[in-house]
Amino acid sequence: MTEPLRVVVADDQALVRTGFRMILESEGIDVVAEATTGVEAVDAVRRTRPDVVLLDIRMPEMDGLEATRRIVGGAAPGSQDGPRVIILTTFDLDRYVYAALSAGASGFLLKDVSPEHLAGAVRMVRGGDALLAPAITRRLVERFARKDPAGEAIHRDLATLTPRELEVMGLLARGLSNAELAAHLTLSEATVKTHVARILAKLNLRDRAQAVVVAYETGLVSVGGGAAAGPIG
């Protein structure tokens, strides 16, 4: 029998924590700890070793950005092990969300997320996918990617990628799923998954979220829509 997913919920609002716990547990997902500050969140992760952390971006003592760095920093570069971080925010264009993605978060959710979407999001990131709506990702990148010199930019050399891998990475940045990539490139989904895995391994990236950030920061996909792989749709 498959063990239930283990989640830590970190938010300084008791109502948010309680609501998320009720939703997740009703879906068979275990909430193994709650935290009210970034410091408590990091400690809870170390103690309970969850699969996923739901982390408020704005908390006392330590914000979600620094907490993300510390939570994902324990895993080896490019490792698929360790907890996945989903950033919680009330603002879909919060500048810290982009910095958190660069620091290793696997995506973000608005706090008014529906119960079905919340449970699905937790399962999605645990499976290795990025939780990034293409339209919101594009707006975040256009607004913050090259305007925050203090940001946690991910610098990677794309010279190690093959032409096909570059093409796949450019399409990832457009928000295409594996099924959509397979259809676009006339490949099997298994082959697409292999290409994605090789991209992440070569660039020492945790998941697709970081691959999207790198695609913009290296210029593979340009801010504003021009791209080697075509415009963002």
The yes-or-no verdict on residue 225 having pLDDT over 60 is no
Residue 207 binned pLDDT confidence (cut-offs 50, 70, 90): confident
Are 73 and 34 found together in one domain?
Answer: yes
- Asked if 126 and 7 touch (Cβ cutoff 8 Å), the reply is no
Assigned domain for 35 exists? yes
* Residue 92: per-residue pLDDT: 63
Q: What is the pTM of this model?
A: 0.71
Are 96 and 12 found together in one domain?
Answer: yes
Residue 116 binned pLDDT confidence (cut-offs 50, 70, 90): confident
Are 178 and 87 found together in one domain?
Answer: no
* Residue 64: per-residue pLDDT: 85
The yes-or-no verdict on residue 40 having pLDDT over 70 is yes
pLDDT digits (tens, 9 = 90+) for 48-106: 999 999 999 888 888 888 899 899 875 544 445 689 999 888 766 566 777 777 778 88
Look at the chain and report how many structural domains it folds into: 2
Are 165 and 125 found together in one domain?
Answer: no
Alpha-carbon distance of 165 to 197, in angstroms, equals 10
Assigned domain for 119 exists? yes
Mean pLDDT score, 108-120 = 86
Are 181 and 108 found together in one domain?
Answer: no
The yes-or-no verdict on residue 114 having pLDDT over 60 is yes
Assigned domain for 146 exists? no
What percentage of the chain exceeds 90 in pLDDT? 34
24 CB-near residues (< 8 Å, 6+ apart): 7, 9, 30, 31, 118, 119, 122
Domain termination residue (choose one: 113, 131, 149): 131
Are 16 and 62 found together in one domain?
Answer: yes
Are 24 and 99 found together in one domain?
Answer: yes
Assigned domain for 100 exists? yes
Mean pLDDT score, 160-171 = 92
Q: In CATH, what number is assigned to the domain containing residue 16?
A: 3.40.50.2300
Are 94 and 209 found together in one domain?
Answer: no
Q: How many angstroms separate the Cα of 199 from the Cα of each of 56, 104, 150?
A: 29, 16, 26
Residue whose tokens read 């340009």: 222
The yes-or-no verdict on residue 166 having pLDDT over 90 is yes
Host domain of residue 171? 158-217
Are 42 and 118 found together in one domain?
Answer: yes
The yes-or-no verdict on residue 127 having pLDDT over 90 is no
Q: How many residues does the chain have?
A: 233
Alpha-carbon distance of 81 to 206, in angstroms, equals 9
Are 163 and 93 found together in one domain?
Answer: no
203 CB-near residues (< 8 Å, 6+ apart): 78, 156, 158, 160, 161, 211, 214
Are 170 and 108 found together in one domain?
Answer: no
